[in-house]
């Protein structure tokens, strides 16, 4: 006998508890929260992304000869940027406190890259940092150390040929690495090497 409490359908990516709750909404709320409308949506998947490096500083040209596609294929994980508004508390006696914004700040983003034997990712990222600051008293100008990255979020739909739908693009402006993490190795681990890199960027655009 079928469980009367179990929903008659499933929604990929939505927990059973949420579906059950939605099917038991009072009639007035069911008219507002249409579960069929939720079922018809294509929810975006975090695994369908790409990081496109569109430019890099001139001192890295030796590694690529202007072709940056290998970095896209080797990029294992990315972070789409976030931002925050800094605010100060302001209160007039007899009124509730409010927050007055005074500055927008952007969070750094973290990428990880696989480490193949034909492209020295470790050397590339460390060369980038070393060229930015060769010594404590000699640093390159900002305009000479940055690159550009476009993050692609793809739709969760069928592909046709080599075409795939793009839901969103985020352009990271004036990017450079702040931190290249160490690369641990041990005989007990037979996994693949990955390099984690934190990037600063001046601003971003949602395209």
Q: Answer whether 196's CB lies under 8 Å from 112's CB.
A: yes
- What sign has the CA pseudo-torsion 191, 193, 198, 203? negative
Beta strands in 121-193 (DSSP E): 147-154, 166-180
% of residues, the chain, pLDDT over 70: 75
Q: Rounded distance, CA 178 to CA 128, Å? A: 10
Whole-prediction pTM value? 0.76
- Domains in the chain: ranges and CATH: 14-41 (no CATH), 49-206 (2.30.110)
Q: Rounded distance, CA 37 to CA 35, Å? A: 5
pLDDT at residue 5 is higher than 60: no
In the 8-state DSSP scheme, what is residue 72?
H
pLDDT at residue 94 is higher than 90: no
Q: How confident is the model at residue 18 (pLDDT cuts 50, 70, 90)?
A: very low
pLDDT at residue 10 is higher than 60: no
């Amino acid at each position: 006998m079928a469980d009367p409490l179990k929903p008659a359908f499933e929604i990929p990516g939505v927990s059973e508890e949420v579906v059950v709750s939605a099917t038991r909404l009072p009639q007035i709320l069911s008219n507002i929260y249409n579960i069929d409308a939720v079922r018809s949506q294509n929810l975006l998947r975090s695994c369908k992304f790409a990081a496109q490096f569109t430019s890099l500083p001139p001192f890295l040209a030796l590694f690529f000869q202007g072709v940056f596609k290998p970095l896209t294929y080797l990029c294992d994980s990315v972070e789409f940027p976030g931002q925050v508004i800094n605010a100060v508390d302001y209160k007039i006696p007899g009124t509730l406190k409010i927050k007055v914004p005074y500055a927008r700040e952007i969070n750094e983003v973290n990428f990880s890259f696989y480490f193949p034997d034909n492209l020295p990712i470790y050397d590339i990222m460390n060369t980038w940092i070393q060229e930015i600051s060769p010594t404590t008293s000699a640093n390159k100008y900002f305009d000479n150390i940055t690159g550009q990255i476009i993050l692609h979020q793809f739709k969760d739909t069928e592909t046709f040929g080599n075409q795939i739908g793009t839901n969103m693009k985020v352009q990271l402006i004036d990017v450079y690495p702040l931190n290249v993490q160490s690369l641990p190795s041990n005989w007990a681990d037979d996994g693949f090497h990955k390099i984690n890199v934190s990037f600063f960027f001046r601003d971003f655009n949602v395209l």
